[in-house]
Amino acid sequence: MLSKYVVVGNRVELQAVKRLNLNQNRENDERKVYTTKVYDIVSDERIELLMPMEQTKLILLPVDGEYELCFYTDNGLYQCVAKVVDRYRDNNIYVLALDLTTNLRKYQRREFYRFSCALEMNSRELLKEEIESLNNSHNALQPELPLKRSVIVDISGGGLRFVSNLEYEKGSMILCNYNLVVDDVQKHYSLVGRVLSVEELENRPGVYEHRVQYVNMDVDEREEIIKYIFNEERKSRHKEKGM
C-alpha cells in the first residue's frame, strides 16, 4: 500500500509518538516536528528518508525511536507510525531506515500541518480586558493599538511560527495581523493566538522564535488558511517537477 500512494521525493514530516500523560493537554504539547523527503521505498513495510536537518546540522534521530509520519503526496496527506531501525550514509547522503508499525491511512487533520514561508506580520500582546472579552465569548479587541513587526516562517490552520526582535512570554495571548492571497484575492487576517514556546535563535542573538496556537478561531478563516497552504504546496510541487 505504501508504494501505491508515496513516491521518492515526497515531502514528509516526522514527530515523536506522544506517550500518554494525563497531566499534559494539547496546548502544552511541544514535540518537535522535523521535515525531510522520501529517499527510497524498500517495501510496503520499510521506507528510507533523508536524515532531517536544522540549518546545516544533521538531526540524528535515535534507533528504535517511534515517529508519526505524514506524507505530502499528489493525492493528499497520508499518515502512519514507524520505528527507526537504522541510520547510515549512502554516497555521502545520510539516510534513516524506518519500519512501518501501523497501516498507511488518509490524514484528516490537515489544519495542523505547517507550510514554510516568509510572510510579514504585525503583532502585539493583548490587554487584560481584551483577554477577558475572549473568555466571555465576545470580541472586544482594540485595533488602534500599536503593533510590532515580525516574520511568519511557517503557518497552518491551527497556528503559526514567527520570528521577532520582541520576546513574548510563553503562555501570553497575542494579536496576529497578516495577509494571504486566497483564490487570487488578498485577504487580511486578525487572529488571536496563545504563545506555546519561545526560543532565542542560536545564530541571531536578540531574535526570538515563537510558536503560536490560534484561539477562538472562525471556522471559515481556518478553511481559507488551509486552502492557501494547499494551493502553495501544489505550486511548489509543480515547480519541483519543472512545470
Segment 25-49, tens digit of pLDDT = 433 444 678 889 999 999 999 999 9
Nearest to 51 by CA among 62, 63, 42, 59: 59
Quick: pLDDT tens for 165-218: 999 999 999 999 999 998 889 999 999 999 999 999 988 899 999 999 998 888
Which domains can be identified in the chain, with CATH numbers? 2-108 (2.30.110.10), 112-238 (2.40.10.220)
- pTM comes to 0.57
pLDDT given at position 242:
61
User: What are the tens digits of pLDDT across the range 45-104?
Assistant: 999 999 998 878 899 999 999 998 988 887 778 888 999 999 999 888 999 999 999 888
Residue 112 backbone class (left: φ over 0; alpha: ψ -120 to 50; beta: rest) = alpha
